[in-house]
Structure formats: structure tokens, C-alpha cells
């Protein structure tokens, strides 16, 4: 039997979190589209920025609801942590996208595309996991999603190590060194986005442990 509350819980959070997860997935997919079809870079980067802005608005709505709610479905700190983690994923993805335009990158590398693939998979998992918070139904399925997010983050770490190990190979001229530094920055931003996706897993796990 579900727990009885004398004061009804504010259920708006579930819808807001679901919309936030959908927006994060849309941003990752837009980044993937940029890298896989590397044309109209400025327009595609602008689209990712629009999604990042929409994510900021959703995050603001979650914190506004948190400030107004008397009874929340989960601990306030967990709601805050999950909202911030979702927002941070798209922040890092948008930052990486912007670097491609700022640095006038001619074409993405295979390792950049692979890092983006990991991020897209993580965001797909997040989009599937977040709706399961409503009533904490299918706890084992939710935990499986959390494990998968951790696994994918480890894959991102390995890809970053490979990228950084090779980015300065055979660099002898100053222009090549500048480009290598720029790519190192991009790789780190892409991997940082996968780290933030793992932060979502940590936030989800804390909710499961406390409330399931």
C-alpha cells in the first residue's frame, strides 16, 4: 500500500523531470547530428544553444516548484541534485558544440563521434529511467538503468584516455600544437558531459536507496 499523506505531495516534479530528461536527450541527439552530418555548423550549434536555454528554464521551474512545495515526493536535496545534474549534462554538451564553431574545426574526429555516441546512449537511458521515479515502480529496471549509466561513463573515460594519448602525436609545428590543444579541450568537454550524466545516475540512486 502506498504511504498515506495528510497533505498531498506536489506531483509536478515528475512531469518537470520527464520534460527535462527529454530535453537533455534532444540536446545530445542534436550534438550527434552536428558531428555525423557536419554541415551548417553555426545553425546546428545555435539549435543546441536553444535546447540548453530550454533546459535552464525547466531547471528554474523545478527549483521554483521546490521553493513553493510544502510536501515533496522526495527529499529536497535529492530533487535539487537531480535537477542540477540534468542541467549540467546539457551545459557541457552545448559548450562542446560551441567549441566546434569557435575553433573553426574542419571535421570531427572518430573519437569525438564515439564520445558523442556514449553521451547519446546515456541520455537515452536517462530518458527511460526518469519516468520510473513516479511511484518508484519497476525498481529493478530503474537500478539496471543506473548501472548502465555508470558503465557508459567508464567507456567515456577510456575514450578520453585514447584521445589524449594520441592528440599530441607527431605535433612539431606551432599551428599543429594550437589545434591539438583545441581538440584536447573538446575531448575533455565531451567526456565531462558523460561525467555529468553519471551524476544523474548518482542522484537517481540516492532516491532509490531512500525511498524504494
Is it the case that residue 135 has pLDDT exceeding 80? no
Q: In the chain, what percentage of residues exceed pLDDT 90? A: 81
> What rounded mean pLDDT belongs to the chain?
92
Share of the chain above pLDDT 70, in %: 94
14 Cβ neighbours under 8 A, 6+ residues apart: 73, 131, 133, 134
- Confidence check: pLDDT of 155 > 60: yes
pLDDT tens readout for residues 114-131: 999 999 999 999 999 999
Taking a C-beta distance cutoff of 8 angstroms, is the pair 194, 158 a contact? no
162-189, pLDDT tens digit by residue?
999 999 988 889 988 999 999 999 999 9
Report the interhelical angle of 41-68 vs 76-102 (nearest 10°).
170
Specify the pLDDT at position 2. 43
Q: What is the mean pLDDT of residues 25-46?
A: 98
Q: Which helix (H) or strand (E) holds 9?
A: none
- pTM assigned to the model: 0.92
**pLDDT tens readout for residues 41-93:** 999 999 999 999 999 999 999 999 999 888 888 899 999 999 999 999 999 99
Domains of the chain in start order, with CATH, are 12-211 (1.20.58.220)
Predicted pLDDT of residue 212: 63
Amino acid at each position: 500500500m502506498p504511504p498515506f499523506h495528510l497533505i498531498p505531495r506536489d506531483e509536478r516534479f515528475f512531469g518537470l523531470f520527464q520534460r527535462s530528461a527529454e530535453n537533455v536527450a534532444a540536446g545530445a541527439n542534436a550534438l550527434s547530428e552536428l558531428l555525423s552530418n557536419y554541415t551548417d555548423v553555426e545553425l546546428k550549434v545555435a539549435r543546441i544553444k536553444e535546447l540548453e536555454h530550454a533546459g535552464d528554464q525547466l531547471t528554474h521551474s523545478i527549483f521554483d516548484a521546490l521553493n513553493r512545495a510544502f510536501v515533496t515526493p522526495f527529499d529536497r536535496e535529492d530533487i535539487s541534485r537531480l535537477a542540477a545534474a540534468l542541467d549540467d549534462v546539457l551545459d557541457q554538451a552545448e559548450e562542446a558544440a560551441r567549441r566546434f564553431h569557435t575553433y573553426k574545426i574542419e571535421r570531427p574526429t572518430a573519437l569525438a563521434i564515439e564520445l558523442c555516441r556514449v553521451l547519446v546512449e546515456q541520455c537515452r537511458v536517462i530518458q527511460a529511467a526518469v519516468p520510473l521515479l513516479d511511484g518508484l515502480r519497476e525498481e529493478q529496471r530503474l537500478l539496471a538503468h543506473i548501472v548502465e549509466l555508470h558503465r557508459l561513463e567508464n567507456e567515456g573515460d577510456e575514450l578520453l584516455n585514447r584521445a589524449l594519448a594520441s592528440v599530441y602525436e607527431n605535433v612539431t609545428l606551432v599551428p599543429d600544437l594550437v589545434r591539438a590543444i583545441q581538440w584536447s579541450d573538446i575531448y575533455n568537454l565531451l567526456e565531462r558531459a558523460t561525467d555529468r550524466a553519471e551524476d544523474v545516475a548518482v542522484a537517481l540512486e540516492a532516491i532509490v536507496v531512500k525511498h524504494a
